[in-house]
C-alpha cells in the first residue's frame, strides 16, 4: 500500500466539544499541579454528566474490565477521538484531560496484541473523505507498529523510503521500524545513514542516525563504524554530525570512536559547536590523564578565542582535581 493512501476524514468538531459550564473552584486552601487541577475539573464534569473520564470512574479507566472488553474497533475509535485536536475555544483543563487520557490509552493499546494492531492498521488504510489530523495518524501508526509488527512491516518500510506522506509521519515510521524490526531497519537505513546529500527526499539525517543507533542496540550490532562516517563527513548535515558525536561519546574504550572524536576536535572548519560536543564526548570516553593531555595540547595551538575559553574552562573543571 503506498503511503499516499494514509488519509481519513476528521470527526465533527461538535463531537468533541464539552458544554461550556464553569465548574466550581477546588476546596478552599487546596493547591495542586496543573495536571491535578485538570483532573479535579474533569471529575466535576463527570459528576455533572458532561464527560466520561478514565481516572474518575474505575469502570471506564484504561485497563479496567469494562474498557478492555470493548471491541478493538471501539478502542481504536476512542484513540482517534482522543488524538483529534479540540477546538481552540476549549479551556486548558479540558485539553489537559484529553492529553492525559490519550497518552494512557496509547500506552495500553501498544501492548494489547495483534488484533488491536491490525485494527489500527485498517484505520490507516481507509479511504477517507478528508485528511485526518497528523496527531491521529501518528497514534495509529504507533499502535499498529508495536501491537502488530509483522503486519505493519511493509507499511513502515514504504513510509521510510517512499515520497508522498508528510516528513513528520515518515520520521515516526523510521523510528518505529528501528524499534520493532531492527534487523530490517539496518538493511534499509545503512546506505542513507552513511551518504550525505541524498537526491531523494528522506526523513532528516539526524533522525536517521537516531533510528540507526536504536536498531543497532536492539540487534546487538556495533554502531560505531557508521557513526564515525557520519561524524567525520564534512558534507553531512550539522545536526546529524552532532548526534553522531554524542553517540560516539557513549562508547568508551573504542579506538575508532576516540580517533574520530580527536580528529573532529582538531578540525579547522569553524564549527565550534561540533568541536565542543567532541570535547565533552572525549572527556566521557578517555582516561582522565589522556583527555587532559589532549585538551592541553589543543589549547596551546588554538586560534579561535571562544574555543580557547571553552577548552580552558574544561581543563579547569575536569583536570584540576
From first to last of its 321 residues, what are the pLDDT tens digits of the chain? 444 333 333 333 233 322 223 334 444 344 444 445 445 444 444 443 444 444 444 344 454 444 557 899 999 999 999 999 999 899 999 999 999 999 999 999 999 999 999 999 999 988 766 688 999 999 999 999 999 999 999 999 999 998 888 899 999 999 999 999 999 999 999 989 988 766 668 889 999 999 999 999 999 999 999 999 999 998 899 999 999 999 999 998 899 999 999 999 987 666 889 999 999 999 999 999 999 999 999 999 888 899 999 999 999 999 876
Q: Residue 80: its pLDDT value, please?
A: 94
Q: Residue 143: its pLDDT value, please?
A: 97
3-state secondary structure (DSSP) of residue 148: coil
Q: Could you tell me the three cell numbers for 84? A: 483529534
The crossing angle, in degrees rounded to 10, of helices 238-248 and 255-265 is 130
| Cα(37)–Cα(97) distance, integer angstroms | 10
User: Over the range 241-260, which residues count as b (16 or more CB within 10 Å of their CB) and which as e?
Assistant: bbbbbbbbbbbeebeebbeb
Q: Could you tell me the three cell numbers for 278? A: 567532541
Q: Residue 194: its pLDDT value, please?
A: 85
Distance of CA 53 to the CA centre of its chain: 27
| Cα(264)–Cα(256) distance, integer angstroms | 12
Answer for the pair 68, 55: CB distance below 8 angstroms, yes or no. no
Which of 32, 53, 30, 31 lies closest to 43, judged by CA? 53
Q: Residue 321: its pLDDT value, please?
A: 64
Amino acid at each position: 500500500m503506498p503511503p499516499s493512501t494514509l488519509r481519513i476524514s476528521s470527526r465533527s468538531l461538535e463531537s468533541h466539544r464539552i458544554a461550556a459550564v464553569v465548574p466550581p473552584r477546588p476546596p478552599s486552601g487546596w493547591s495542586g499541579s496543573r495536571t491535578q487541577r485538570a483532573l479535579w475539573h474533569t471529575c466535576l464534569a463527570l459528576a455533572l454528566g458532561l464527560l466520561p473520564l478514565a481516572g474518575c470512574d474505575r469502570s471506564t479507566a484504561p485497563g479496567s474490565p469494562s474498557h478492555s472488553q470493548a471491541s478493538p474497533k471501539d478502542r481504536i475509535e476512542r484513540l482517534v477521538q482522543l488524538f483529534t485536536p479540540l477546538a481552540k475555544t476549549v479551556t486548558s483543563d479540558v485539553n489537559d484531560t484529553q492529553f492525559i487520557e490519550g497518552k494512557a490509552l496509547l500506552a495500553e493499546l501498544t501492548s494489547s496484541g495483534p488484533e488491536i494492531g491490525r485494527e489500527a492498521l485498517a484505520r490507516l488504510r481507509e479511504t477517507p473523505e478528508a485528511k485526518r489530523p497528523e496527531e491521529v495518524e501518528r497514534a495509529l501508526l504507533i499502535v499498529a507498529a508495536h501491537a502488530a509488527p509483522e503486519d505493519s512491516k511493509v507499511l513502515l518500510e514504504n513510509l521510510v523510503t517512499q515520497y508522498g506522506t508528510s516528513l513528520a509521519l515518515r520520521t515516526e515510521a523510521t523510528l518505529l521500524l528501528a524499534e520493532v524490526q531492527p534487523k530490517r531497519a539496518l538493511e534499509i537505513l545503512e546506505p542513507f545513514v552513511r551518504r550525505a546529500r541524498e537526491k531523494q527526499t528522506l526523513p532528516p539525517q539526524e533522525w536517521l542516525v537516531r533510528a540507526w543507533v536504536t536498531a543497532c542496540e536492539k540487534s546487538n550490532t556495533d554502531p560505531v563504524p557508521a557513526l564515525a562516517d557520519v561524524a567525520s563527513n564534512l558534507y553531512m548535515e550539522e545536526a546529524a554530525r552532532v548526534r553522531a558525536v554524542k553517540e560516539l561519546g557513549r562508547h568508551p574504550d573504542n579506538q575508532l570512536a576516540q580517533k574520530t572524536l580527536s580528529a573532529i576536535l582538531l578540525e579547522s572548519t569553524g564549527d565550534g559547536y561540533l568541536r565542543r560536543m567532541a570535547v565533552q564526548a572525549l572527556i566521557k570516553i578517555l582516561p582522565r590523564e589522556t583527555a587532559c593531555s589532549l585538551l592541553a595540547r589543543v589549547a596551546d595551538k588554538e586560534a579561535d578565542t571562544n574555543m580557547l575559553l571553552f577548552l580552558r574552562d574544561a581543563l579547569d573543571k575536569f583536570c584540576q582535581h
